[in-house]
Amino acid sequence: MEETLRIERMGNGAEAVGRLASGKTVFVAGGAPGDAVRVEVVEEKASFARARIVAVEEPSPLRAEPRCPHGDACGGCPWQHLSYEAQLEAKRANVVGALVHTARLEAVRAEDLVRPCLPSKRQWGYRNKLELGAARAENGEFLLGFHREGTHEIATPAVCPLAHDAVAKAPKALRGALRFAQGSADLGIFRVGVRHSVRTRETEIALWTKPGAFPRAHVAKTLKSALKATSIVRVLADPGRARKIKGVETLDGKGCWGEELADARFLTSAPSFFQVNTAQAEKLAAEVVEGLGGRMGEEGPEGLDGLLVADLYAGGGTFSVPLARAGADVIAIEAAGSSVRDLRRNAEMNGVDIEVVGGDAARELPELGGLDALVVDPPRAGLADGVAESIAEAAPARVAYVSCNPATWARDVARFEQNGYRLARAQPVDLFPQTHHVEVASLFERE
């Protein structure tokens, strides 16, 4: 069934949103607000439908010329057909919408709370990390590329223009090198990570493999001939979403990756998390420091002298280190073992004293006692049940909440507001141009 419709807005995911003649909401991949498109419905549910574009009959002025020819194959830049200004507007609108529809805030208040989305100076070539999936084709050929969203299929483009120039061609280079290194053998490689810093010029290649025998020297030599790297490591882990890590081996070089952020130096192990857009992560750190009453001075963060701050889900110290450099007394809680080790090393390297607690945030929080302020940067699932209530019991005057998922963040906004805290502001920050993803740095104040 085909019909012509007008695209109304971008959705919370990669797709655009319109309405069929019946009034039913329809999600359309590749649409732009203002487009008149002829579509074919490919999936119909009780409350919504999905459709593909057959023809763009009247293009929107918000359209842009796509830069990556592989976008449809791997799905890594689904908004590249939108002008960057339209992307920023859509991301802010989605944050406002989450407050209205999930947190149940009044529309006027939500509009007032959410600031314009902070743009990324680099709209392409901003990613400091590529994550490549590896598999074997039915004919035994080694495949290395990007998982198509929602599938186990691997797309194999030669270049990724979202990555820094130094590693943009890494997919093709590493695919050829690993095919040669393995020959007819299967070395159990199921994932490859590549990190590069434009500030330190350091590059790390991380091979994720099943435990077992491995030709370390041969593989390292082959990879070095394909991509100049300061560190090559092997992460021994079980495949699958859980990825239980059994160990990390240094095959060549430093054994970790160095980056600079907010006038501080960070070393990150291959299994540990670090934001993929360093320059924009600095803006997140500034929002947190300033939200708690500090400032980003010419010589680094300052103005939080003597403040007792807990940093939950602290990672390798993206927020803990700037907070401590600003003078705060920081208690950092992190569950992942590799990140705990990185955090301790990063604190020592930057000359700050941070109390590092290795454990689950929900379990450790009730033991902290009274706090002046708290920072929380949870995974996409947001805060676990009961954490917002535990934070309220700790009674910090301010809570800085950084989120990569506006939907779960808005759910937690409602929880905070039911427990004596009021959302004071929300700052969207664009860490992921050409995609629908957006970070939100928000501040809650105790009523």
Catalytic annotation present for 404: yes
**Annotation-wise, does 427 bind a ligand?**
no
Are 293 and 354 contacting, i.e. CB atoms less than 8 angstroms apart? Answer: no
Sort 360 into a burial class: Cβ within 10 Å, 0-12 / 13-18 / 19+.
middle
DSSP structure string for 84-121: HHHHHHHHHHHHHHHHHHTS---HHHHHHHBPPPBPPS
Backbone angles phi, psi at 311, to 5 degrees: -115, 105
Non-local (6+) Cβ contacts of 320 within 8 A are 311, 314, 330, 332, 343, 347, 354
Running DSSP on this structure, what letter comes out for residue 62?
T
**Annotation-wise, does 377 bind a ligand?**
yes
Sort 293 into a burial class: Cβ within 10 Å, 0-12 / 13-18 / 19+.
middle
Are 266 and 321 contacting, i.e. CB atoms less than 8 angstroms apart? Answer: yes
CA 352 from centre of chain? 26
- Whole-angstrom CA distances from 294 to 287, 326, 358 are 10, 7, 27
Running DSSP on this structure, what letter comes out for residue 148?
P
**Annotation-wise, does 280 bind a ligand?**
no
Runs of H (alpha helix) within 13-153: 71-74, 84-101, 107-113
The interaxial angle of helices 387-394 and 406-417, nearest 10 deg, is 50
Nearest residue to 29 (alpha-carbon basis) of 94, 75, 69: 75
- Whole-angstrom CA distances from 153 to 50, 64, 75 are 21, 28, 12
**Annotation-wise, does 313 bind a ligand?**
yes
Are 332 and 314 contacting, i.e. CB atoms less than 8 angstroms apart? Answer: yes
| 5-8: long-range contacts, CB 8 A cutoff, minimum separation 24 | 5/36, 5/37, 5/39, 6/34, 6/35, 6/36, 6/37, 7/31, 7/32, 7/33, 7/34, 7/35, 7/36, 7/37, 7/60, 8/33
Running DSSP on this structure, what letter comes out for residue 309?
E
SS3 73: helix
Q: Which of 117, 160, 256, 404 is catalytic?
A: 404
Structure-block tokens of residue 253: 């070089």
SS3 193: strand
Annotated binding site for S-adenosyl-L-methionine: 275, 313, 334, 377
Catalytic residues: 404
Which residues contribute to the annotated binding site?
275, 313, 334, 377
